[in-house]
Amino acid sequence: MKTNKFYLMIAIIMVSISVKAQQSGVNFGLKAGINYATLPTSFKEVKEKEGKAGYNIGVFARVGDALYFQPELNYTAFKSEYSYNSKVYTPKFKQVNIPLMVGYKIINTEALNFRISAGPDLSYSLNKAAGSAQFDYKKFTAGGVVNAGVDIGSLTIDARYSRGLTKINKGLDEKTGIFNLSVGFKIF
Protein backbone atom coordinates (compact mmCIF):
# COMPACT_ATOMS: atom_id res chain seq x y z
CA MET A 1 0.00 0.00 0.00
CA LYS A 2 2.81 2.42 0.89
CA THR A 3 4.56 1.54 -2.38
CA ASN A 4 1.47 2.48 -4.41
CA LYS A 5 1.18 5.82 -2.58
CA PHE A 6 4.86 6.49 -3.22
CA TYR A 7 4.52 5.85 -6.99
CA LEU A 8 1.36 7.96 -7.10
CA MET A 9 3.24 10.82 -5.43
CA ILE A 10 6.06 10.53 -8.03
CA ALA A 11 3.50 10.59 -10.86
CA ILE A 12 1.81 13.72 -9.45
CA ILE A 13 5.15 15.48 -9.10
CA MET A 14 6.18 14.60 -12.66
CA VAL A 15 2.85 15.79 -14.10
CA SER A 16 3.07 19.06 -12.19
CA ILE A 17 6.64 19.56 -13.44
CA SER A 18 5.60 19.03 -17.07
CA VAL A 19 2.68 21.47 -16.68
CA LYS A 20 4.99 24.09 -15.18
CA ALA A 21 7.50 23.55 -18.01
CA GLN A 22 4.99 25.08 -20.40
CA GLN A 23 5.37 28.36 -18.49
CA SER A 24 8.40 30.67 -18.51
CA GLY A 25 10.96 30.61 -15.71
CA VAL A 26 11.39 26.82 -15.74
CA ASN A 27 14.68 24.93 -15.99
CA PHE A 28 15.26 21.20 -16.21
CA GLY A 29 18.57 19.52 -15.61
CA LEU A 30 20.60 16.43 -14.86
CA LYS A 31 22.92 16.03 -11.88
CA ALA A 32 25.33 13.56 -10.33
CA GLY A 33 27.48 13.63 -7.24
CA ILE A 34 29.01 12.01 -4.24
CA ASN A 35 27.64 11.77 -0.74
CA TYR A 36 28.84 10.85 2.72
CA ALA A 37 26.26 9.14 4.89
CA THR A 38 26.06 8.50 8.60
CA LEU A 39 23.36 6.81 10.66
CA PRO A 40 23.54 8.66 13.99
CA THR A 41 22.08 6.78 16.95
CA SER A 42 21.65 7.24 20.69
CA PHE A 43 21.56 3.43 21.17
CA LYS A 44 24.53 2.82 23.51
CA GLU A 45 25.14 -0.76 22.35
CA VAL A 46 26.02 0.46 18.84
CA LYS A 47 29.79 1.07 18.71
CA GLU A 48 32.37 2.14 16.17
CA LYS A 49 29.89 3.99 13.98
CA GLU A 50 31.44 5.01 10.71
CA GLY A 51 30.04 6.83 7.70
CA LYS A 52 30.83 5.77 4.15
CA ALA A 53 30.93 7.45 0.75
CA GLY A 54 28.25 6.85 -1.86
CA TYR A 55 26.87 8.45 -5.00
CA ASN A 56 23.70 9.89 -6.51
CA ILE A 57 22.31 10.69 -9.94
CA GLY A 58 19.11 12.48 -10.75
CA VAL A 59 17.01 15.08 -12.49
CA PHE A 60 15.74 18.42 -11.25
CA ALA A 61 13.36 21.18 -12.23
CA ARG A 62 13.58 24.77 -11.08
CA VAL A 63 10.40 26.82 -11.32
CA GLY A 64 10.50 30.57 -10.71
CA ASP A 65 13.09 33.30 -10.74
CA ALA A 66 14.51 34.88 -7.56
CA LEU A 67 12.14 32.82 -5.42
CA TYR A 68 11.86 29.31 -6.83
CA PHE A 69 10.59 25.78 -6.26
CA GLN A 70 13.00 22.91 -6.99
CA PRO A 71 11.69 19.33 -6.98
CA GLU A 72 14.17 16.55 -7.71
CA LEU A 73 14.07 12.83 -8.42
CA ASN A 74 17.32 11.11 -7.44
CA TYR A 75 18.76 7.63 -7.20
CA THR A 76 21.02 7.52 -4.15
CA ALA A 77 23.35 4.75 -2.97
CA PHE A 78 25.09 4.89 0.41
CA LYS A 79 26.22 2.68 3.27
CA SER A 80 27.29 2.85 6.88
CA GLU A 81 29.23 0.64 9.25
CA TYR A 82 28.73 -0.10 12.92
CA SER A 83 29.44 -2.72 15.56
CA TYR A 84 26.65 -4.29 17.61
CA ASN A 85 27.15 -7.22 20.05
CA SER A 86 30.77 -7.61 18.85
CA LYS A 87 29.70 -8.09 15.24
CA VAL A 88 30.31 -5.58 12.43
CA TYR A 89 27.42 -4.63 10.12
CA THR A 90 27.60 -2.66 6.88
CA PRO A 91 24.06 -1.87 5.71
CA LYS A 92 23.90 -0.71 2.08
CA PHE A 93 21.04 1.43 0.86
CA LYS A 94 19.74 2.07 -2.66
CA GLN A 95 17.02 4.68 -2.56
CA VAL A 96 14.76 6.86 -4.64
CA ASN A 97 15.05 10.30 -3.09
CA ILE A 98 12.65 13.23 -3.64
CA PRO A 99 13.67 16.59 -2.15
CA LEU A 100 11.05 19.33 -2.59
CA MET A 101 12.89 22.59 -1.93
CA VAL A 102 11.89 26.23 -1.92
CA GLY A 103 14.81 28.55 -2.52
CA TYR A 104 15.99 32.09 -3.00
CA LYS A 105 18.69 33.38 -5.35
CA ILE A 106 20.89 35.74 -3.32
CA ILE A 107 22.73 36.80 -6.47
CA ASN A 108 20.58 36.50 -9.58
CA THR A 109 22.20 37.40 -12.90
CA GLU A 110 22.11 35.80 -16.33
CA ALA A 111 25.62 34.33 -15.96
CA LEU A 112 25.87 33.73 -12.18
CA ASN A 113 23.47 32.72 -9.39
CA PHE A 114 24.13 32.02 -5.71
CA ARG A 115 21.21 30.09 -4.20
CA ILE A 116 19.98 28.76 -0.87
CA SER A 117 17.05 26.40 -0.43
CA ALA A 118 15.39 24.05 2.03
CA GLY A 119 12.44 21.71 2.24
CA PRO A 120 11.17 18.21 2.92
CA ASP A 121 13.15 15.20 1.73
CA LEU A 122 11.38 11.88 1.07
CA SER A 123 13.24 8.60 0.54
CA TYR A 124 12.15 5.11 -0.44
CA SER A 125 14.56 2.15 -0.18
CA LEU A 126 14.68 -0.12 -3.21
CA ASN A 127 16.59 -2.85 -1.39
CA LYS A 128 16.61 -4.55 1.99
CA ALA A 129 19.61 -3.23 3.92
CA ALA A 130 21.43 -5.96 5.84
CA GLY A 131 21.84 -5.26 9.52
CA SER A 132 21.34 -7.07 12.80
CA ALA A 133 18.63 -9.71 12.31
CA GLN A 134 16.53 -8.35 15.17
CA PHE A 135 16.37 -4.80 13.74
CA ASP A 136 14.86 -4.05 10.32
CA TYR A 137 15.40 -0.93 8.23
CA LYS A 138 12.30 0.94 7.05
CA LYS A 139 11.46 1.32 3.38
CA PHE A 140 10.10 4.89 3.59
CA THR A 141 11.61 7.79 5.56
CA ALA A 142 11.04 11.52 5.65
CA GLY A 143 13.46 14.26 6.53
CA GLY A 144 14.57 17.77 5.76
CA VAL A 145 17.23 19.18 3.47
CA VAL A 146 19.21 22.43 3.37
CA ASN A 147 21.08 23.34 0.21
CA ALA A 148 23.52 25.98 -1.04
CA GLY A 149 24.31 26.23 -4.71
CA VAL A 150 25.85 28.23 -7.51
CA ASP A 151 24.94 28.39 -11.19
CA ILE A 152 27.57 29.44 -13.72
CA GLY A 153 25.72 29.61 -17.00
CA SER A 154 24.19 26.16 -17.45
CA LEU A 155 26.54 24.50 -14.94
CA THR A 156 25.08 24.03 -11.46
CA ILE A 157 26.96 23.00 -8.30
CA ASP A 158 25.15 22.11 -5.06
CA ALA A 159 26.23 21.27 -1.51
CA ARG A 160 23.56 19.99 0.84
CA TYR A 161 22.80 18.22 4.07
CA SER A 162 19.81 15.94 4.44
CA ARG A 163 18.72 14.88 7.92
CA GLY A 164 16.18 12.16 8.58
CA LEU A 165 13.30 13.24 10.80
CA THR A 166 11.82 9.74 10.94
CA LYS A 167 13.91 6.79 12.09
CA ILE A 168 15.29 4.55 9.37
CA ASN A 169 15.76 1.88 12.05
CA LYS A 170 13.50 2.18 15.09
CA GLY A 171 15.21 -0.58 17.10
CA LEU A 172 18.66 0.98 16.73
CA ASP A 173 17.26 4.53 17.02
CA GLU A 174 19.00 5.52 13.74
CA LYS A 175 18.22 8.48 11.52
CA THR A 176 20.01 9.32 8.30
CA GLY A 177 22.48 12.16 7.94
CA ILE A 178 23.77 12.65 4.38
CA PHE A 179 26.21 15.29 3.12
CA ASN A 180 26.07 15.66 -0.65
CA LEU A 181 28.08 17.47 -3.32
CA SER A 182 26.72 17.36 -6.86
CA VAL A 183 27.37 18.87 -10.26
CA GLY A 184 24.63 19.31 -12.79
CA PHE A 185 23.78 20.79 -16.13
CA LYS A 186 20.62 22.71 -17.03
CA ILE A 187 19.25 21.18 -20.23
CA PHE A 188 16.72 23.98 -20.78
Q: What is the chain's length?
A: 188
Residue 95: its H or E element? strand 92-108
Number of neighbouring beta carbons within 10 Å of residue 177: 17
- The confidence score (pLDDT) of residue 111 equals 93
CA distances from 162 to 35, 121, 123, 158 (A): 10, 7, 11, 13
Measured at the alpha carbon of residue 74, what is the angle toward residues 72 and 79, in degrees to the nearest 5? 140
**Series of mean pLDDT values for 10-residue runs along the chain (188 residues):** 66 58 77 94 82 95 96 96 86 96 96 97 93 83 98 97 94 92 95
pLDDT of res. 22: 45
- The whole-model pTM stands at 0.83
Per-residue pLDDT, 162: 97
Torsion of CA 44, 45, 47, 49, to 10 degrees: -70
pLDDT number for residue 23: 52
